[in-house]
Amino acid sequence: MGAQIALQAALHGVDTALVDVSQEQLQRGMAGNRQWLERRVEKGKLDSEHAEQASARVRTSTDLAAARDSDWAIEAVVEKEDVKRAVFAELDQHLPPNAGIATNSSNIVVSRLAEVTQRPELCCNMHFFHPVLVMDLCEVVRGPKTSKQTVQRALDWSRRIGRTAIVVEREVDGFIVNRILGAASREAFTLLADQVAAVEDIDTAVRTGLNWPMGPFELSDFSGLDTVLGVRRDRMEREHQPGDEATVAVLERLVAAGRLGRKSGRGFYDYSEDPPAPLPLPD
C-alpha cells in the first residue's frame, strides 16, 4: 500500500520518498507501479509522458532519513504496534518540526503511536483502501491530541492527490467502513462456522443480493488471511463482539495450513484455477 500511496501522490505532482527496510520490497513495489502505469497507458487512460513523470517523482531509499525534507509522512508498515511505534519515533527525529505524521492503519489508532513523538498534535490516521490506485476513499481519524489544523491538512493532502476524504471525529475500532464491513463479516463467518451455508454460497448471496463487488470470503482472501486474522484477533481482545470467536477460529485454521489467500495462491479459494475454485476448510 505504501508504494501505491506514493504513486497516487506522484500522479498528482507530489515529489515522494518511498522507504522500506528491504531493497527487494522497494523493487517489487516500484515494479508493480510500473505495470499499473503501463496498463493505463495501453488502455488510453494515461499518456506516456504523464506516466514517466509520475514514476520519476518517486525516489526510493532504505533509510528513513530520506524523509528529512518532507512536509508529510504516511506510515504503512506491518500491522504490529511495536514496529509502528518505532517508525513513528524515527520519523519524529528526521522530519522537519512542522511536518505531519499519519498512520495508514485501519486497526491501530494514532493515540497508540503518537505518544512516542514530540508532535502528537501533528499525528492522525489516514486510512486509504486497497488497492489505493483504484479505491477513492481516505478516512482521516482525529486522535485525542490531533489538532484541527492537522485534520484539515490531512483532508487537503488527501484531496490534493485525488482522493475523497472524510473525517472520523474520534477513535473507534474499525473507523467507519471496516466497522460496518466487520459486522457483516462476523455474520458471514458465524454462518460458515454453524454450517448454515458454504463459502461460495455465502459469497454469491452477498454479491448478488447486496450487490457487493466481492463476497466476505473473497474479500478476506484479497486482503490476506494472516492480515485479517491479526486485525480480528486484536479487535476481539479489545472489544469482543458476538461472532469474533468463530471468525478467529476459522482464520487460525487457514493460516496454520499456509493458506493466506491470493498472495499464497490458496485461501478460501484455489487461485490456480480460473475462475478460483472454493476449497474445503482444513481440519
Point out the catalytic residue in the list 33, 70, 105, 178.
178
Point out the catalytic residue in the list 75, 79, 139, 218.
139
* Residue 240 appears among annotated catalytic residues: no
Instruction: Of 226, 126, 139, 123, give the one whose Cα is nearest residue 181.
Output: 139
Measured CA to CA in angstroms, residue 128 lies from 34, 178, 243 at distances of 20, 12, 26
**Contact criterion met (CB below 8 Å) for 100 and 122:** yes
Quick one: cell of 159? 484531496
* Residue 127 appears among annotated catalytic residues: yes
Point out the catalytic residue in the list 107, 127, 158, 220.
127
Measured CA to CA in angstroms, residue 70 lies from 14, 65, 91, 257, 265 at distances of 11, 10, 10, 42, 38
* Residue 139 appears among annotated catalytic residues: yes
- 10 Å Cβ neighbour count for 195? 7
- 10 Å Cβ neighbour count for 88? 24
Owner of C-alpha cell 460496518: 180
- 10 Å Cβ neighbour count for 142? 20
Pairing of strands 137-141, 123-128: antiparallel
* Residue 178 appears among annotated catalytic residues: yes
- The letter for the amino acid at 272 is S
How many residues in the chain?
283
Quick one: cell of 35? 505495470
Owner of C-alpha cell 448454515: 196
What residues pair up with 137 in beta bridges, in sequence order? 164
Point out the catalytic residue in the list 70, 106, 111, 185.
106
As annotated, the active-site residues are 106, 127, 139, 178
